[in-house]
Structures are given as structure tokens and as C-alpha cells.
Homo-oligomer: A and B are copies of this chain.
Amino acid sequence: MSAPMFMKGNEAMAEAAIRADCRFYFGYPITPQNEVPAYMSRRMPEAGGTFLQAESELAAINMVFGAAVAGARAMTSSSSPGISLKQEGISYMAACELPGVIANIMRGGPGLGNISPSQSDYFQATRGGGHGDYRLIVLAPHTVTELAELTMDAFDLADYYRNPVMILGDGLLGQMMEKVEFPEPEARRRTGLLRGRPLPPKDWALTGAQGRPPRLIRSLLMQPGVLEQHNFHLAEKYARIERDEPLAEVIGCEDADVVLAGFGTSARVAKQAREMLRARGIKAGLFRPITLWPFPYAQLAAIARTTRRFLVVEMNLGQMIEDVQLAVARERSLKDATIALLPRPGGGVPVPEEIVDKTLEVLR
């Protein structure tokens, strides 16, 4: 582990990508992630890589597609409206089983919205904003250090599963400066989400058919039944990911009367609220999914065995709450549970006090 640095989340993510051997970055400006292209434009050439400002988000994601086709580790980043424009390209990447990393530093929506932090693209990220039955692995860091770590993991998981991986952050995480510790990449490959599994060779990449038959990357499968087979193949892969990758941080849920659930920034704030509640003698727990897809249903269901009150804190109108409901329903009817929501859409960021207040209300 290198000495801690004090950096913006956006810059830490960019730096982590480079440390994880990403050598191709394609992006288009949009607040609040402009520090990513700015940083990449400085650092990539130093690292022997390529920074290219694409003409649009559409071009950027398709450049990531191209770089992945050629076997490179490539990345793009944007914020909500720009991510909407990438949906077709993301679907193509998933269909062609191309690795790649897409960061969404979310801002207030819908439409042009504003540039404040938001979490309102949860559905889009986890349910396929693009067309077709595909899934992204979605990672949701809540500190700058975790952002750096998960960025490194993102490239590894993308290569491991030949699937695009999304980093779902928000404007606060991207803009905030705090201490960041970059793990040593080799070590992280062992201790991070890859868990030391060896990466498969990219024996599918297009590099010129030298001494081998030509290769072909495509998603068009017109022969009857072939696309359905391909979908079942993808489904099998997704099932493996759902089995092996769900990850959550769980704090103090064993004896909890109420569990706060949230991801990223809202979970971070909820952590403080939980401590404040405990300080008041209220048995509050915290459930923070780190992988939003695959969502850690089983882990949350286990908690629902002993807890029936949940407060979901989201910087949106309530999206992850559906996954919380689906998880809790594995154990108990929703009639037999209280799953409350503290929604802060359109750029609002909750403060611990309001989470505490809302929790007290739930417990009443």
C-alpha cells in the first residue's frame, strides 16, 4: 500500500484505473466528473496510454467497445445524461461479452436536472437501461479509498467475466477530497473482489489473424434459436456472478430493531446516523450493498429473519428499495415488515440528523 494521498474522488478513480493497467480512456465532459478526463489527459500520456476526448458519449462508449475488441483495458466515465446516451453501446458490449469499465458519477435528474450529487440511476444501472437481457456488474463505493479499490477490481472483474462493469458513484464522492490509500495492484488482485482468481487469456481479441483463423466479434445472431442459446449462455454467466460476487457491508444487524439500508454516499451518511442512534440506545443496524448487481439478496434476507423494520435511505425517489423488498420478501411477507423510505431526489444529500429523525418515526 502506498502512502496516503489527499485527492478528489474523480482523480482517485482515474489514478486507480491507470494503476490497474487501464491504458485507454475515452470520455466527454460533463459535470460532476470533469476531473476524470482532465486527470486522464495529463496522466495517460505519462503512463504511455491514450486519452481521447470523444465527440460524444455515444462515440466514447463505442471507442471503449473498439479498444476492448482489440484486447485493451479501457474505460469511460460520464454522469447521468451522458450515461443514458451510452445505453445502446453498453448493451452491445454485454452482448459481445467485452470487458470494460464505465463510471457514472451521478447527478440530479431527470433531464438536464442539476449537477448536485444523486443516486437516481440505480434502476438504469442494475436493470439494464439498454435493451435486451443483459446485466452489468455494478459497484458502489462510499469513500474515496473504496472508489479507488473498486475501480481496480472493476477491471479485473470485467476481464474475468468478459462483462462490462459499472462504477456507480455520485457527485459528492467524485468531488470530495479525502485521504486515499491506493492498494498495490498485485495485492489487490488477491484481496479485492477478484480474490486471486486467475484472469483468462484474451484469446478472443482481434489483433490480426496472424498464424490463426480470423476471429469475429458480433452480437447479431440471426439463425433461429442461436440468439436464444446465447442468452441462456449469458444467463448462466449471470447466475455464476449472482452466486459468487454479491457483497455487502453489514454493521450491527444481529440485535437490530431497525436496519438502515443504502448504498454509496447515502450509506455513508447512514453510518453516522446509526452511531447516533446506538448512542441513544436504539438498536440500529446498517446494510450497505457494495455490489448493487448482483444485489446481496441472501445476506439481507438473513437479516430479515430477525429484523422486520428497515429504513432505506436513497438519494432518489426510491429505487433500491425494490431490491430491499425483494430480499425481505424471501423471509417474510411485506405485510409483516416495515420498509420505510427516506428519499432525497434531485440533488439532495441527507444529513445524519434527518435519518435519525426518520428512524425514530419508523420505530414509533
Residues of A within 8 A of B (CB): 58, 80-81, 83-85, 87-88, 91-92, 94-96, 106, 108-116, 118, 120-121, 123-124, 127-134, 218-222, 224-232, 234-235, 316-317, 319, 322, 325-326, 328-336, 343-348
Name which residue of chain B comes closest to A78, CB basis. Answer: B131
Q: With a CB–CB cut-off of 8 A, which chain B residues contact A316?
A: 133
Contact assessment for B116 and A227 in the assembled complex, using a CB-CB cutoff below 8 Å: yes
Q: Give CA–CA (A344, B230) in the complex, Å.
A: 12
Chain A interface mostly helix, strand, loop or mixed?
loop
Q: How far is the CA of A95 from the CA of B92 in the complex (A)?
A: 27
Contact at B130–A129, with CB atoms within 8 Å? yes
* A346 cross-chain contacts in B, Cβ below 8 A: 133, 221, 226-232
Contact B130 A124 (CB under 8 A): yes
Most chain B Cβ neighbours within 10 Å, of A83, A87, A132: A132
Q: Considering the complex of A and B, which 7 residue pairs feature the smallest CB-CB distances, nearest first?
A: A109-B132, A111-B219, A95-B111, A110-B132, A329-B329, A80-B131, A227-B346
State the CA gap A231–B200 with chains docked (Å): 45
Q: How far is the CB of A161 from chain B (nearest CB, A)?
A: 15
CB<8 Å pairs between A and B, sample of 18: A84-B88, A94-B111, A95-B109, A96-B111, A108-B132, A110-B128, A110-B130, A115-B222, A123-B127, A124-B129, A124-B130, A228-B347, A230-B346, A231-B345, A234-B317, A235-B317, A325-B329, A326-B329
Q: CA–CA, A87 to B129, complex, Å?
A: 8
- Complex Cα distance, B314 from A133, in Å, reads 11
Cross-chain contact A319 with B110 (CB below 8 angstroms)? no
CB distance from A339 to the nearest CB of B (A): 10
Contact A329-B334, Cβ < 8 Å, known A80-B131, A110-B133, A227-B116: yes
Q: Decide: A120 and B131 in contact? CB cutoff 8 A.
A: yes
A110 touches B124 (CB 8 A): no
Determine how close the nearest CB of chain B comes to the CB of A197; give it in whole angstroms.
25
B112 near A123 (CB under 8 angstroms)? no
Asked whether, in the complex, the Cβ of B110 is within 8 Å of the Cβ of A131, the reply is yes
Pair A334/B325 contact, Cβ less than 8 Å: no
Residues of B within 8 A of A347 (CB): 224, 227-228
A95 to B347, CA, bound (A): 14
Candidates B109, B111, B124, B134; contact of A127 at CB < 8 Å: B124
Please pick, from B58, B85, B113, B133, the residue contacting A109 in the complex, using a CB distance under 8 A.
B133
Q: Which residues of B contact A343 (CB under 8 A)?
A: 235
Q: Is the CB of B112 within 8 A of A220?
A: yes
Contacts of A234 in B (CB 8 A): 110, 317
Bound Cα distance from A115 to B109, whole angstroms: 33
Contacts of A330 in B (CB 8 A): 333-335
Q: Could you say which residues of chain B place their CB within 8 Å of the CB of A128? A: 110, 123-124, 129
Min distance, Cβ A59 to any Cβ of chain B, angstroms? 12
Q: Is the CB of A120 within 8 A of B108?
A: no
In the complex the two chains form, what is the Cα distance from A230 to B322 in whole Å? 22
Which residues does chain B contribute within 8 Å of A325, judged by CB atoms? 326, 329
Look across to chain B and name the residue whose beta carbon is closest to the beta carbon of A85.
B88
Contacts of A115 on B, CB cut-off 8 Å? 222
The listed residue (B106, B113, B131) touching A221 by CB distance below 8 A is B113
**A133 with B319, Cβ < 8 A, contacts A112-B219, A116-B227, A219-B110 known:** yes
Given contacts A235-B345, A326-B329, A345-B228, contact A131 B114 (CB under 8 A): no
On chain B, the residues within 8 Å of A344 by CB distance are: 228
Q: Considering the complex, give the chain B residue whose CB is closest to the CB of A109.
A: B132
